[in-house]
Amino acid sequence: MASAEPVNAARRWAIVTGGSVRGGLAISRRLHARGLGVVVHHGSAASAARAQAVVDELNARVPGSARRWEAALQAHPAFPDATLDVAHVVCNASRLAPSECGDMDAAELDFRIHVSGHAALLASVEPSLRRLRGSVVAVGDLQTQQPNRDHVWYLVAKAGLETLMRTLAVQWAPEVRCNVVAPGALAWHAGWSDEPRRAAILQSIPLARIGSFDELADCVAWLALDAGYVNGQVLKMDGGRSAWLP
């Protein structure tokens, strides 16, 4: 794990998995703006420079307030610094790849990244979360309840992550709260070219627009820091899409 500045041991910290890109980047910035130190997790050496740039940005604002941690979630990592006051974990890192029912390799990899990898991380910081009466927020997916045809094991694994949060919300209470944000359509991936599907998605959303990563970060920060009596819940952030039968 890398740090550009000395660590202030009195600071409360959040670990954001996949914290250097898209929604994870917005979450890292938002929690940092709320006064937390942020551990920016990334999965491999290929994303080290990107993650370090985020750490440098945050440390430029508040020296010693950000660190980088490289770990492959499929290897079931434990967080390596037991001295850091980890009060919050955001289980955001994900793998979005098409799969079918018979794709057993995809099934194992999706489960290890989304469910058991995050579980291993959470188990390693459980004592700190309990001591600091902290929280866990997982980023799920609206499509666990309204699935598409293309991503069987991604959606099954995201559903498993939601169940993990509900279960830990009971097992780790009253010291630790565990919740889920389930976003609908957010910013389109680079290279998106299916214009009819884009139009159909927009037509299915009562607010008539997709959500933003900043709005996702708002929801995560609220559940992590403000919603003191919310536990074991899935917050749908979808512009009303799940409530509308057009």
Q: Which of 3-7, 9-13, 67-71, 197-201 has the lowest mean pLDDT?
A: 3-7
Q: What is the pLDDT of residues 28-81, one digit of tens each?
A: 999 999 999 999 999 999 999 999 999 999 999 999 999 999 999 999 999 999
Residue that wins the pLDDT comparison between 143 and 90:
90
Class of domain 13-243: alpha beta
193 or 218, higher pLDDT? 218
Residue 241 CB contacts under 8 Å (≥ 6 apart), including other chains:
142, 184, 185, 204, 205, 206
pLDDT digits (tens, 9 = 90+) for 66-95: 999 999 999 999 999 999 999 999 999 999
Smallest CA-to-CA distance from 118 within 69, 73, 71 is with 73
pLDDT of residue 218: 97
Secondary structure of 90-150 in HEC code, one letter for each residue: EECCCCCCCECCCCHHHHHHHHHHHHHHHHHHHHHHHHHHHHCCCEEEEECCHHHCCCCCC
pLDDT for 10 equals 66
